């Protein structure tokens, strides 16, 4: 509690004493060495109040930075070669030194020790924190023949100093001075195409690359490595984004919203500025040289088989094959969610992997078809013009990649630490062919080998390699048919045969503009824009209306042709087969042939030959025969026979279905006494025709019904009469 009393001399004296004590405490703090991490100080105040001495004390602790003596030494060497451009014995290297006090206390008696050079300069008495000395010390080394032979001279110097607290500080610096140093390297690159059991290149086959790096100089190299954007995915822009996506996909969360994506390592503004300075010929319009590929990566699901509902990723690979940068690249894929859908810039001859990614789930229809169809649009700016291209590629589910194929680089080993003069080391890498590689017919890529020499200068060697891919375009057509015979289930004129077609790409390249033609059927269906290897499509149907030739044959024998264009515009065709991808046999639809004939036999009249007005022996009966083709096939060599009479009329060459011949065949019969006694003539004739397959069809006559077989009965009028003459 503070006493609010008038100010007195006693109080003034007390305050002066208190101030003196505080100042003394501050001075005490200043006198404490910085080696103490904490300064604790107690202050006492005394005074007289009402003749009574009073006092009070207070203690405070202040943290201070401990003494941290430290030095930094930079050593720079300059070769003096006498003006001949070559280091020779007796030439000198002079060194300068920059000593910096990087600690927080003053260093005393700072000196330098250089065992391989003649040093000049006396120790620095004191060097305050942050101070730099560049003039006190110099040194000189005279080159020997050993130094020249080594190709460089390594020299180390050590700086030392001491703080007031007794702590020491030191620093060292190595200076590597090249002496006529010659270093060189070469890179040889080869590839081996590993074909599958079918003996041709297909997507999923591999190329094994070998990179042979040789130290062609007289001095050793170190930190030797090879990079190749085609096979070392980790070196590509956007790959870290891909890894982030896949890492997130392994977690039970939505990678679209949770993955943190690093920025692509491309300075778009600097790159644009660089190309803006280049002299580019004015062109009104330029097609973009942007090659776009997509790959499927599996993001969820277990086991080897992809199932409906599994999540997949569409990974876009962008290649700028032109000589100017492409800007504002964007991708739209309406059926999926964008994980990354744009790229600011893509430099000439550069490629980007996985900056643009879309994800969605696999559908039931896609599982059935075995392929993913995901239309997308890719747009980019080239010299101020916005250009778009549509993607309609079909991606087989069989080619889906696993996480591991994206997450790691494939060049081995990553680094060779040392490579002696004249020695070689081999790096290897495996590249998996994509369908785009097969369609292009070649895989072009360039590798770069890097190494450092004795003075850590970086050497590079570049080697390109082209692996030809032999295209093997092939297509197969399977044609199946079914006859609709109507309610009677009998093939008739006008009945319809319907055909379906299965078109399979049996080659190793994507086929385009696939169409089907059929000389004997009306084909419906638009041409298939593209068909990936191994994929089967059923985009066409055809119909054929039965004609008499089909019925006579008892079957429809038909063959269609499929045609397509390869990526190199080679036309590929195939004749259909009913069930084999490799066969070329016509498709046969059986029509269940039904050959049949019917015969009507009627009598016209009884002729009274002797004119006696009655039926007598010798009178005649005239018969008419009506022959009808009651089947569905044309009959040939149609004849009528009758055991009692000679039928008039030559064999009919042919008789079409439903045709009746009623006048061609006739016959005359002469009545006998037996006929008269019987009172009638009973007779049956036979019709005979030959079916297209050579079999005979026959029918017994009927007097009135085509489908019946009954004898024709001609009644005779009997007149029994007798006369007697007696003489």
Phi, psi of 437 (to 5 degrees): -65, -45
Q: Which residue, chain included where needed, has tokens 């032979």? A: 149
What is the full DSSP assignment across 122-161?
PPEEEE-TT-EE-SS-EEEEE--HHHHHHTEEEEEEEEEE
Confidence at residue 237, expressed as pLDDT on a 0 to 100 scale: 47
Instruction: Of 162-171, 275-284, 397-406, 677-686, give the lowest mean pLDDT range.
Output: 275-284
For residue 267, is pLDDT > 80? Answer: no
Rounded to whole angstroms, the Cα distance separating 441 from 567 reads 9
d(Cα 91, Cα 489) in Å, to the nearest integer? 112
More confident: 308 or 213: 213
- Token readout for 361 is 């789930």
User: How far apart are the C-alpha atoms of 482 and 488, rounded to whole Å?
Assistant: 16
CA-nearest of 651, 645, 633, 663 to 687 is 651
Residue predicted with more confidence, 671 or 487? 671
**Which structure tokens are listed for 466?**
């082209």
Distance, CA of 393 to CA of 529 (rounded, Å):
9
Q: What is the pLDDT of residue 481?
A: 92
**DSSP code for 65:** P
- Find, among 253, 535, 257, the residue nearest to 396 by Cα: 535
Residue entry with tokens 């896949």: 246
Residue 254: the pLDDT is 36
> Could you tell me the pLDDT band of residue 500, with boundaries at 50, 70 and 90?
very high
Percent of the chain with pLDDT over 70: 85
Position 259 pLDDT exceeds 50 = no
- pLDDT > 90? residue 345: no
pLDDT in tens, 204-241: 889 999 999 999 998 899 999 998 877 765 444 454 55
Structure tokens at 588: 């046969």
| Neighbour count for residue 324 (Cβ, 10 Å) | 17
560-to-207, 228, 260, 524 alpha-carbon distances in Å: 39, 48, 56, 13
- Residue 360 parent element (H or E): strand 351-361
Mean pLDDT of 373-402: 85
Please give the DSSP secondary-structure letter assigned to residue 274: H
Percent of the chain with pLDDT strictly greater than 90: 43
- In 3D, which of 199, 206, 230, 202 has the Cα closest to residue 435? 202
- The secondary structure of residue 666, as a DSSP letter, is E
> Residue 449's beta-bridge partner residues?
226, 461
Whole-model pTM? 0.56
Contact 507, 475 (CB under 8 A): yes
The average pLDDT across 300-318 equals 80
- CA distances from residue 50 to 14, 53, 57 in whole angstroms, order as listed: 12, 8, 20
Average pLDDT, the chain: 82
Strand order in the sheet with 458-468: 416-419, 221-227, 442-452, 458-468
- Residue-wise pLDDT tens digits, 75-104: 999 999 888 888 889 999 999 999 999 999
Dump pLDDT digits (tens) for 30-71: 334 444 457 778 888 888 877 788 888 888 877 767 889 999
Question: Helix or strand or coil: residue 17?
Answer: helix
| Separation CA 708–CA 710 (nearest Å) | 6
Judged by DSSP in three states, 206 sits in: strand
Whether the bond between 413 and the residue before it is cis, its omega within 30 degrees of 0, is yes
Q: How far is CA 499 from the centre of its chain?
A: 34
Chain segment 688-704, per-residue pLDDT in tens: 999 998 999 999 999 98
Does the pLDDT of residue 281 top 80, yes or no?
A: no
What confidence tens digit (pLDDT) does each residue in 531-566 have? 888 889 988 999 999 998 888 888 899 999 999 999
Position with higher pLDDT, 63 vs 472:
472
Beta strands in 570-727 (DSSP E): 571-575, 587-590, 597-607, 620-629, 635-641, 647-648, 652-655, 660-670, 680-683, 686-690, 696-700, 712-715
Q: What pLDDT score was predicted for residue 24?
A: 38
Mean pLDDT of 269-284: 46
Which segment of 239-248, 554-563, 646-655 scores lowest on mean pLDDT?
239-248
Of residues 612 and 99, more confidence is placed in 99
Q: With a cut of 80, say whether residue 246 has pLDDT above it.
A: no
Q: What are phi and psi of 242, to 5 degrees?
A: -65, -45
Question: What is the spatial distance between Cα 106 and Cα 307, in angstroms, rounded to a whole number?
Answer: 73
Buried b (16+ CB within 10 A) or exposed e, 408-438: ebbbeeeebeebeeeeebebebebbbbbbbb
Q: Which two tokens stand for residue 632?
A: 């569905």
User: How confident is the model at residue 107, as a pLDDT?
Assistant: 94
Nearest Cα residue to 297 out of 430, 193, 391, 432: 432
**What's the token pair of residue 190?**
């080869």
* Phi, psi dihedrals of residue 690, rounded to the nearest 5°: -105, 125
Residue 242's pLDDT is 54
Q: Predicted confidence band at 279 (pLDDT cuts at 50, 70, 90)?
A: very low
From 626, 634, 647, select the one nearest 689 (Cα to Cα): 634
Q: Which residue, 599, 603, 625, 626, is CA-closest to 675?
A: 603
User: Among residues 90, 76, 351, which one has the least CA distance to residue 231?
Assistant: 351
Other CB atoms within 10 A of residue 462 CB: 10
Token output for 713: 């009965």
Place of tokens 């004191």: 126
Closest CA to 628 of 603, 674, 665: 665
Find out whether 52 and 13 touch, Cβ atoms under 8 Å.
no
Q: What is the pLDDT of residues 660-670, one digit of tens each?
A: 999 999 999 99
């Amino acid at each position: 509690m503070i006493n609010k009393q008038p100010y007195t001399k006693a109080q003034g004296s007390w305050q002066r004493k208190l101030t003196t004590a505080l100042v003394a405490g501050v001075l005490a703090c200043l006198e404490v060495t910085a080696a103490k991490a904490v300064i604790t100080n107690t202050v006492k105040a005394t005074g007289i109040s009402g003749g009574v001495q009073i006092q009070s004390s207070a203690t405070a602790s202040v943290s201070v930075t401990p003494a941290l003596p430290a030095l930094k030494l930079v050593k720079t060497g300059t070769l003096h070669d006498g003006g001949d451009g070559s280091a020779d014995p007796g030439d000198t290297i002079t060194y300068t030194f920059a000593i910096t006090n990087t600690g927080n206390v003053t260093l005393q008696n700072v000196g330098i020790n250089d065992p391989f050079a003649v040093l000049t300069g006396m120790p620095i008495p004191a060097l305050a924190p942050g101070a730099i000395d560049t003039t006190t010390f110099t040194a000189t080394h005279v080159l020997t023949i050993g130094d020249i032979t080594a190709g460089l001279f390594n020299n180390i110097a050590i700086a030392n100093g001491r703080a007031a607290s007794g702590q020491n500080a030191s620093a060292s610096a190595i200076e590597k001075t090249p002496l006529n140093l010659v270093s060189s390297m070469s890179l040889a690159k080869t590839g081996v195409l590993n074909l599958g059991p079918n003996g041709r290149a297909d997507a999923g086959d591999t190329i094994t690359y070998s990179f042979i790096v040789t130290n062609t100089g007289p001095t050793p190299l170190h930190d030797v490595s090879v990079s190749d954007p085609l096979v070392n995915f980790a070196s590509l822009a956007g790959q870290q984004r891909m890894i982030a996506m896949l890492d997130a996909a392994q977690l039970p969360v939505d990678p679209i919203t949770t993955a943190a994506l690093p920025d692509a390592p491309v300075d778009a503004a600097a790159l644009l500025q660089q190309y803006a300075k280049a002299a580019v010929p004015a062109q009104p319009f330029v097609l973009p040289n942007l090659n776009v590929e997509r790959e499927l990566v599996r993001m969820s699901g277990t086991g080897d088989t992809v199932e409906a509902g599994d999540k997949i990723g569409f990974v876009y690979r962008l290649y700028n094959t032109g000589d100017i940068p492409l800007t504002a690249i964007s991708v739209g894929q309406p059926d999926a969610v964008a994980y990354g859908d744009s790229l600011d810039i893509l430099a000439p001859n550069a490629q980007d992997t996985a900056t643009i990614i879309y994800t969605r789930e696999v559908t039931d229809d896609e599982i059935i078809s075995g392929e993913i169809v995901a239309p997308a649009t890719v747009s980019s700016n080239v010299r101020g013009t916005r250009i778009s291209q549509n993607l309609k590629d079909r991606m087989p589910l069989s080619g889906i990649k696993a996480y591991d194929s994206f997450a790691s680089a494939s060049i081995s080993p990553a680094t060779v630490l040392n490579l002696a003069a004249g020695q070689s080391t081999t790096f290897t890498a495996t590249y998996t062919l994509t369908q785009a590689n097969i369609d292009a017919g070649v895989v072009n890529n360039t590798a770069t080998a890097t190494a450092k020499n004795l003075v850590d200068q970086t050497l590079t060697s570049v080697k390109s390699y082209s692996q030809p891919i032999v295209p093997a375009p092939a297509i197969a057509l399977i044609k199946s048919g079914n006859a609709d015979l109507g309610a009677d289930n009998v093939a008739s004129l006008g009945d319809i045969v319907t055909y379906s077609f299965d078109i399979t790409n049996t080659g190793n390249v994507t086929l385009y503009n696939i169409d089907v033609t059929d000389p004997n059927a009306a084909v419906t269906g638009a041409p298939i824009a593209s068909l990936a290897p191994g994929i089967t499509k059923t985009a066409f149907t055809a119909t054929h209306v039965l004609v008499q030739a089909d019925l006579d044959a008892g079957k429809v024998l038909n063959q269609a042709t499929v045609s397509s264009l390869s990526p190199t515009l080679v036309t590929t065709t195939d004749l259909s087969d009913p069930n084999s991808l490799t066969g070329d046999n016509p498709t046969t639809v059986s029509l269940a042939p039904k050959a049949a004939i019917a015969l009507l036999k009627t009598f016209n009249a009884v002729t009274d030959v002797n004119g006696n007005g009655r039926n007598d022996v010798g009178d005649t009966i005239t018969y008419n025969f009506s022959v009808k083709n009651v089947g569905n096939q044309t009959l040939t060599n149609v004849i009528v026979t009758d055991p009692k009479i000679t039928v008039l009329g030559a064999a009919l060459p042919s008789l079409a279905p439903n045709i009746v011949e009623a006048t061609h065949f006739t016959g005359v019969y002469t009545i006998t006494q037996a006929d008269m006694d019987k009172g009638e003539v009973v007779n049956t004739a036979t019709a005979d025709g030959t079916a297209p397959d050579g079999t005979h069809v026959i029918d017994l006559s009927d007097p009135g019904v085509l489908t019946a077989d009954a004898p024709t009965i001609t009644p005779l009028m009997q007149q029994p009469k007798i006369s007697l003459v007696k003489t």
